[in-house]
Amino acid sequence: MIWESAYWKEELFRQAEYLRRRRHQKKWSERSLARLEKTVMIGFYAVRKLLEAKRLSDAIGRLRLNVVKYGPTGKRGTFMNWHRADELYFLDKPIDTQLALEQVSNIFIHSYAFLPVHNENDGLEALLVNSDKTRTAALFRIDIDEVIQVFSLIAADDPQESQMVFDDKKGDYKVSLW
């Protein structure tokens, strides 16, 4: 359980700033790619923990993120070929969709494929990702600006009021924050 969310949110703010600076990075070493993956994965872990601990407003909990979905080609992704997105997914057939914040968090936390997408200037544009559970169904593209916006929004979220009602069925309280 998270007692004080401010420390988690401060870190999310720093992660958003780090990602903001990476949008224009031109050279990508293995170290910087690893730090990118670690920053995003740990950031979404913090998001999920804050959601589960009821430390975010209900409005944040209802967020849906814009993503692009690519369907599988039928070739199975494995430990040895997970990085060959062009062979495993129909990248020429994008499907615009939205996913719940919690679902996106889980996909990043349990990522199977994690591939940065660079623009023509080698700056960071988006991330291609799927999880161990979604890898046979789809690959998702999420713009880095969307990730930055989510981390920044959550870092700034400061609910001022709450309502707690005991739910006999759950045996626990239903918490609403705004």
d(CA 66, CA 140): 10
Would you call 168 helix, strand, or coil by DSSP? coil
Q: Give the pLDDT confidence of 7-21 residue by residue, as tens digits.
A: 999 999 999 999 999
Q: Give the pLDDT confidence of 83-124 residue by residue, as tens digits.
A: 999 999 999 999 999 999 999 999 999 999 999 999 998 899
Sign of CA dihedral 35, 36, 41, 46: positive
d(CA 31, CA 121): 20
User: Token match 């814009």: residue?
Assistant: 66
The token pair at 81 is 């070929």
pTM comes to: 0.92
